[in-house]
Structure 1
Amino acid sequence: MPNNEKLDRFRTAAGFIAALDQSGGSSPKALAQYGIEPSEYSSDAEMFDLIHAERTRIVTSPAFTGDRVLAAIMFEDTMDREVDGRPTADYLWSVKGVIPFLKIDKGLQDEADGVQLMKDIPGLDETLPKAAAQGVIGTKERSVIHSADPAGIYRIVDQQFAVAQQVIAAGLLPILEPEIDIHAPDKQRAEELLKAAILEWLPRIGDDLVAIKISLPSVDGFYNDLMRHPNVARVVALSGGYTRDEADEHLRRNPGLIASFSRALLEGLNVHQSDEEFNTTLDASIEQIYQASTAR
């Protein structure tokens, strides 16, 4: 299991997770939200430099500290770079008190049986010990459910736990992310099938721990039993297409569920803002999400 101090803090401390893990496929959209259009870069290398500059601006902001931001999820390119002369994971923990996680999935397969499984994750046996050596506490791996197809949902959960067991064997904490599309016509039924499949799987991991990242539930309090489960370190929620205000309202109605937001966290940030404007906007966003994540 991961470093006890980080794990204990992750399980019990107040705050939320900053999902700063857009990778190759989602970076252009993230940059556009930040005010940088595709015409302003001409290669993947330039794109990733711009993404890292944005993330550096976020994590070095005085608004971004472990007082409210419990953890942050990076992707591998970010982990392999530095912030203020320190490896990114070390900067997050040693300077900001923010627990570092690593996104390990490599995108989604084509939809089948109402779901999109993860693509294969080449080189994972090399990536996991590298992440652990840099102080990363755990991983995040995303797949997507589009409809309440029992066979598809069971395949999603089986794959998530198969990857989770590989992560656990490397001494890290996996965050399972079987996202349910918030626009699915049978979303509530999909949630029922997903939770049942997860509860069926959890006893098979013995004394080990996982965290679970899910879409905000249709019924308030629906994931309370997962939050109480002895094998679950934390249950966190993605914004999934809701605005920040909408997502925060859902969170407030689900005490114990904390945010793991990406786009909703970064709403309103722009490359052309002065540092004062940027930090003020980020501070307001962090405070709003923190308050929703700690509502009782």
Structure 2
Amino acid sequence: MPNPQQVEKIRKGDGFIAALDQSGGSTPKALKLYGVSESEYSNETEMFDMIHAMRSRIIKAPSFGKGKIVGAILFEQTMDRSIDGLPTATYLWEKVGVVPFLKIDKGLAAEENGVQMMKPIPGLDALLDRAAKAGIFGTKERSVISAANPAAIKAVVAQQFELGKTVLSHGLVPIIEPEVTITIADKAEAEAILRDEILALLDTIPAGEQVMLKLSLPTVPNFYKPLVDHPKVLKVVALSGGYPRDEANAMLAKNTGMIASFSRALTEGLSAKQSDAEFDAMLGAAIDSIHAASVAG
């Protein structure tokens, strides 16, 4: 069963969830934005060492532990590594008071009918067992919707909830993430179909269990309020989806009960070349702005 203190921290939502879960495919881009070029590492091990150093620096920064971040989503290799001799998930909760989540999806299948389903996840049960033993509270799994195609969106949501129920069976809380691409012309229509499909499947979640939802910022403010208020939903969090931080914050502030789970918008402007004081000042400003938007609703 999930840790009751952690459940309460997420339910209260007095802050936001930091998405620190770039995987192998997106790590080079994340490092480049951080000021580390591909010439500075020669293999995947060195690349992951560098991204872990970046994440450790973020987690250990004074501004990260000031109570404005309630959760953090980790990549599997981050879960398996340590910070100051403690497993990352243990460090997050015991030293910083931040609830640890794990990204479990293995990426996206090719787009078909305007959506990208999740690829199969080999060894899922073993991974979930390992996550539970490592002190992970919940998981995150992402699909992408790029067209208002009712049958395809129904399939995305069905796959998400099937995986979510497996996660629940291991005593973890799933973050169901069917992302709607923010640049599509029929975004509002896709959101309407998505909301209805999620509402239909929330009623199939077993009694006493709850899931979380991670959704693109809606075209119409408070469009997802029926999901926010649903008894089977612990929390609805928003992804920035490519909006610049200021725009994402402004949109989020109009949505009551939703909190941020930003990745790029959190690390925007951070650089390996900054001094610790400069780094913490830049991170602290980002944290303050995202926190303000998350608690505004």
TM-score by length of 2: 0.98
1:250 aligns with 251
- Tell me the number of residue pairs that the alignment of Structure 1 and Structure 2 aligns: 296
2:206 and 2:107 map into 1 onto residues whose CA distance is: 29
> Is the Cα contact below 8 Å between 1:66 and 1:97 reproduced in 2?
no
The answer as to 2:192 corresponding to 1:192 is: yes
Aligned-pair CA distance for 1:65? 1.4
**Following the alignment from structure 2 to structure 1, what is the Cα–Cα distance between the partners of residues 2 and 167?**
11
1:108–1:116 Cα contact (<8 Å) kept: yes
Q: Distance in 2 between matches of 1:78 and 1:257?
A: 26
- Superposed displacement of residue 129, structure 1: 1.2
CA contact (8 A) 2:71 2:101 kept: yes
Give the match for residue 19 of structure 1. 19
Assess if the C-alpha contact under 8 Å between 1:19 and 1:74 holds in 2. Answer: yes
One-letter code aligned to 2:83: V
SS at match of 1:205: coil
- In the TM superposition, what is the alpha-carbon distance from 1:41 to its structure 2 partner? 1.2
- Asked whether 1:268 is paired with 2:269, we answer yes
Within 5 Å, which residues of 2 pair with 1:128-167? 128-167=128-167
| Distance across 2 between alignment mates of 1:8 and 1:132 | 18
User: Which blocks of at least 5 consecutive residues in structure 1 are unaligned?
Assistant: none
Partner SS state of residue 255, structure 2:
coil
Measured against aligned partners, the alpha-carbon deviations of 1:76-107 in whole angstroms (never above 9, x if no partner) come to 10000000110000000000000000000000
Shift of 1:10: 1.0
8 A Cα contact 2:18 2:261, kept in partner: yes
Contact 1:73-1:102 within 8 A present in 2 as well? yes
Structure 1 letter corresponding to 2:171: G
CA distance in 2, matches of 1:244, 1:212: 20
Q: How does 1:47-58 map to 2 (within 5 A)?
A: 47-58=47-58
CA contact (8 A) 2:13 2:259 kept: no
1:105 — aligned with what?
A: 105
Q: Does 1:292 align with 2:296?
A: no
Kindly provide the amino acid, as one letter, of the partner of residue 45 in structure 1.
T
The equivalent residue for 1:60 is 60
Cα distance between partner residues in 2 of 1:237 and 1:278? 25
Q: Distance in 1 between matches of 2:66 and 2:229?
A: 24
Q: What percentage of aligned pairs have identical amino acids?
A: 55
Deviation of the 1:40 alpha carbon: 1.5
**Aligned partners of 2:42, 2:191: CA distance in 1, in Å?**
41
Residue equivalent to 1:222: 223
The residue type equivalent to 2:182 in the other structure is I
In the alignment, structure 2 segments of 5+ residues that lack a partner are none
Give the distance between the partners of 1:164 and 1:66, measured in 2 at CA: 31
CA contact (8 A) 1:66 1:98 kept: no
Q: What SS does the aligned partner of 1:67 have?
A: coil
Residue identity in the other structure for 1:294: V
- Residue 170 of structure 1: aligned partner: 170
For 1:87-106, what aligned pairs fall within 5 Å after superposition? Answer: 87-106=87-106
Q: In the TM superposition, what is the alpha-carbon distance from 1:66 to its structure 2 partner?
A: 5.7
Runs of 4+ that moved beyond 6 A: none
1:12: how far off? 1.3
Contact 1:106 1:118 (8 Å CA) reproduced:
yes
Q: Paired residue for 1:282?
A: 283
Q: Whole-Å Cα distance in 2 between the matches of residues 203 and 293 of structure 1?
A: 27
Corresponding residue for 1:77? 77
Larger mean Cα displacement after TM superposition, 248-257 or 272-281: 248-257
Residues 31-79 of structure 1, C-alpha deviation per residue, up to 9 Å, x if partnerless? Answer: 0110111122111111100000000000000000161001000011000
- C-alpha distance in 2 between matches for 1:142 and 1:167: 14
Instruction: State the SS of the aligned residue for 2:203.
Output: helix
Q: Is the 8 A contact 2:104 2:141 kept in 1?
A: yes
